[in-house]
């Protein structure tokens, strides 16, 4: 039994995430965690809400609530939606936790001791009306590139151009709308990433199995232009982790907090501490996952995230860990994803365009979405959600292939043999050929899953379902029974055991449907099939079962057209 630590990019607290966010990190991480558990491995799967920074303050202000109250409420909302999507986190933490406060301040102190933090005086926008410095995202104005009048001080959402607040035309405060802004001097702390460039470069060179997308982004940041730049790790905000060196004050940094991109990745570690504290377990329990001097040397650590998060997780967070000089676990494999676009454009929170996680669950159960998203995961390039493709995939893969197989064999058995696995008959050449095919395909499925090739895994799983359908169609027990009841009984017994096999193999993708198949087969046996032949004898003759309700209902044209209209949003 191997040990795996899995983290997915932690979502911002400011609202419910859309399907593109889901498939870019949390969902494939859950797929892999479920698969590894199914193979008998020890897994710790962690995630959390990212609760600091400008987005949290702005969202709380818009909601008319204190930021701490807003974050607590939204954490519960996101945790509930994650549960309903079947995301099997061992712990879903909060970056505002006391554990993350202490750990972030600890890392800052260690980096300061190592001479890897420097103080910088810089000019920043100050709102006279609000009596505060304004971080980039607190400033809005007209984009000089495309003319969009709601561009932020860090980036234009419309044309995606990176900006500085001083680039904006007619800048204004996002807090009050005031245009009474002026440039003032302030001091901040910078992490000297440039001093760790060679260490990071050498470390990344050892990751020969990383996706090309991951390494290409990391190398671009390391070598393009002026190379890896030092990065600010503090901000002039009220909400966040106060700037301290461990448990000591940091002179000159009073009233400042750590930048969200410094403290957020540290929450991965703090989340494990939250997990043990919530269970009353000793520190040795979380340390064995995160400290290589306490047992984490045999842990394989895998991160899942969208490509926009890659620079922070391949450079900034590793710089924090390496720079601390302490024996913390570094990521072994970083699985990155491209973007999922929506029906000819982009998902847009501000324009209400696209399907968000709560909306998705309001119209269909989670397995419908899990299957489509994972089988169309944007691995090698951006992919696109269209309602036509979604309808076709659900109807063909889930309803026609898997659902129809389960329905046909269970209903036929009930009508001819009752609700028990029938006895009699011997396997013939067709059954031996099926077992050989499935053994080959299950091993291929395992190979793709081990390599975290999500789309190929889905394709192989579907092929496994198809093989059972083709067997059932060619053996035709409804015809065989007219002349050879014993052989028909064997064919039906094979089909019922295929349902149990499909439940075990499909659980990482469609856990609810898998559980329903197991319940119908009256078994809790989810043992992974080492040998398909043995697995297809798991339910013996005489074993009782029940006919399940329809596993997957087909999506009608009327439903598709309604949803397509409902989630179109306001196009710019």
Domain limits for position 436: 388-535
CATH of the domain at 14: 3.40.50.620
pLDDT value at residue 345: 86
With respect to residue 126, please indicate whether it lies within any of the assigned structural domains: yes
159 is known to lie in a ligand binding site: yes
In this structure, are 44 and 32 located in the same domain? yes
Asked, for residue 305, whether it belongs to a domain, the answer is yes
In a domain, 275, yes or no: yes
3-state SS of 267-296 is: HHHHHHHHHHHHHCCCHHHHHHHHECCCCH
DSSP state for residue 316 in the 8-state scheme: I
Q: What is the pLDDT of residue 23?
A: 97
| Statement to judge: residues 107 and 127 lie in one domain | no
In a domain, 406, yes or no: yes
Of 321, 337, 353, at which residue does a domain stop? 337
What pLDDT does 170 receive? 94
Closest CA to 402 of 520, 489, 556: 520
Q: Which of 236, 231, 230, 229 minimizes the C-alpha distance to 124?
A: 236
Could you tell me if residue 488 is inside a domain?
yes
Tell me if 413 is assigned to a ligand binding site.
no
Q: What is the pLDDT of residue 54?
A: 81
From 337, 352, 377, the end of a domain falls on 337
Q: Based on the domain organization, do 67 and 204 belong to the same domain? A: yes
Output the CA angle 100-102-108, nearest 5 degrees: 100
- 60 and 203 both lie in a single domain: yes
> How many distinct structural domains can be found in the chain?
3
Profile the chain (572 residues) by mean pLDDT over runs of 10 residues.
96 93 97 98 98 89 94 98 98 98 98 97 90 86 94 83 86 91 93 96 95 93 88 92 96 94 97 97 96 97 95 95 98 96 84 90 98 97 96 98 98 98 96 97 98 98 98 96 97 98 98 98 94 96 97 98 86 38
Are 89 and 125 members of one domain?
Answer: no
71 is known to lie in a ligand binding site: no
- Residue 230 is given by DSSP the state P
Contact 179, 169 (CB under 8 A): no
> Which of 191, 217, 233 represents a domain boundary (last residue)?
191
| Confidence (pTM) | 0.94
Q: What is the CATH number of the domain that holds 517?
A: 1.10.730.10
302 and 326 fall within a common domain: yes
441 and 404 together in one domain: yes
Distance of CA 202 to the CA centre of its chain: 28
176 with 281, same domain: the answer is: no
Q: 407 and 483, same structural domain? A: yes
Query: Tell me, what CATH number does 128's domain have?
Result: 2.170.220.10
pLDDT in tens, 238-289: 899 999 999 999 999 999 999 999 999 999 999 999 999 999 999 999 999 9
Q: What is the pLDDT of residue 277?
A: 97
Beta bridge partners of 383: 340
Q: What is the pLDDT of residues 296-345, one digit of tens each?
A: 999 999 999 999 999 999 999 999 999 999 999 999 999 999 999 998 88
- pLDDT for the residue numbered 568: 84
What's the rounded Cα separation, in Å, for the pair 301 and 334? Answer: 9
Is position 478 within any domain? yes
pLDDT of residue 132: 84
- pLDDT digits 0-9 by tens, 54-93: 889 889 988 999 999 999 999 999 999 999 999 999 999 9
Q: What is the DSSP letter of 264?
A: H
Same domain, 63 and 185: no
Compute the distance between CA of residue 524 and CA of residue 526 in angstroms, rounded to an integer: 6
Shared domain for 284 and 403, answered yes or no, is no
Q: What was the pLDDT predicted at 363?
A: 97
Give yes or no for a contact between 189 and 243, defined as CB atoms under 8 angstroms apart: yes
What's the pLDDT score for residue 572? 36
Kindly state whether residue 170 falls inside one of the protein's structural domains: yes
Position 571 scores a pLDDT of 39
Beta strands in 356-470 (DSSP E): 383-385
Burial of residue 121 (CB within 10 Å: 0-12, 13-18, 19+) is: exposed
DSSP 3-state assignment of 7?
A: strand
> Residues 409, 442: one domain?
yes
């Amino acid at each position: 039994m191997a040990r795996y630590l899995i983290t997915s990019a932690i979502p911002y607290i400011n609202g419910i995430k859309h399907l593109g966010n889901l498939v870019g990190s949390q969902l494939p991480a859950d797929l892999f965690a479920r698969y590894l558990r199914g193979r008998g491995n020890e897994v710790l799967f962690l995630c959390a809400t990212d609760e600091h920074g400008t987005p949290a303050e702005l969202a709380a202000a818009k909601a008319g609530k204190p930021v701490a109250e807003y974050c607590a409420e939204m954490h519960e909302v996101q945790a509930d939606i994650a549960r309903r999507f079947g995301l099997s986190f061992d712990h879903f933490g909060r970056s505002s936790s006391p554990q993350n406060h202490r750990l972030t301040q600890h890392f800052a102190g260690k980096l300061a001791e190592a001479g890897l933090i420097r103080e910088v005086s810089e000019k920043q926008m100050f709102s006279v009306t609000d009596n505060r410095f304004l971080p980039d995202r607190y400033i809005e104005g007209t984009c000089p590139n495309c003319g969009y009048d709601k561009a932020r001080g860090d980036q234009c959402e419309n044309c995606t151009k990176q900006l500085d607040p001083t680039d904006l035309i007619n800048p204004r405060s996002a807090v009050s709308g005031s245009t009474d802004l002026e440039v003032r001097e302030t001091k901040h702390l910078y992490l000297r990433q440039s001093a760790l460039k060679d260490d990071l470069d050498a470390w990344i060179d050892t990751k020969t199995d990383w996706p090309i997308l991951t390494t290409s982004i990391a190398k671009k940041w390391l070598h393009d232009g002026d190379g890896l730049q030092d990065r600010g790790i503090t901000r002039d905000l009220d909400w966040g982790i106060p700037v301290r060196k461990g448990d000591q004050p940091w002179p000159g940094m009073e009233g400042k907090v750590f930048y969200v991109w410094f403290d957020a990745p540290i929450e991965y570690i703090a989340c494990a501490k939250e997990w043990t504290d919530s269970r009353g377990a000793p520190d040795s329990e979380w340390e064995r996952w995160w400290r290589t001097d306490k047992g984490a040397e045999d842990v394989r650590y895998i991160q899942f995230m969208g490509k926009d998060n890659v620079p922070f997780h391949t450079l900034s967070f590793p710089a924090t860990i390496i720079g601390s000089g302490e024996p913390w676990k570094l990521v072994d494999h970083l699985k990155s994803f491209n973007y999922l676009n929506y029906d000819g454009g982009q998902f847009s929170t501000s324009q209400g365009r696209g399907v968000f996680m709560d909306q998705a669950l309001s119209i269909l159960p989670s397995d419908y979405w899990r299957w489509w998203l994972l089988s169309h995961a944007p691995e090698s390039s951006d992919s696109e959600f269209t309602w036509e493709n979604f309808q076709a995939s659900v109807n063909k893969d889930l309803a026609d292939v898997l659902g129809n197989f389960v329905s046909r064999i269970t209903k036929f058995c009930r009508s001819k043999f009752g609700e028990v696995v029938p006895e009699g008959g011997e396997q013939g050449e067709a059954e031996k050929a099926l077992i050989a095919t499935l053994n080959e395909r299950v091993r291929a499925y395992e190979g793709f899953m081990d390599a975290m090739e999500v789309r190929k895994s889905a394709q192989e799983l579907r092929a496994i379902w198809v093989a059972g359908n083709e067997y059932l169609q060619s053996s035709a027990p409804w015809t065989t029974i007219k002349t050879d009841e014993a052989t028909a009984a064997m064919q039906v017994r094979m089909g019922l055991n295929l349902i149990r096999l499909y439940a075990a193999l499909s659980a990482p993708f469609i856990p609810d449907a898998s559980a329903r198949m197991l319940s119908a087969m009256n078994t809790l046996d989810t043992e992974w099939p080492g040998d398909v032949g043995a697995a297809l004898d798991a339910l013996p003759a005489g074993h009782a079962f029940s006919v399940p309700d329809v596993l997957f209902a087909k999506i009608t044209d009327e439903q598709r057209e309604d949803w397509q209209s409902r989630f179109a949003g306001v196009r710019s």
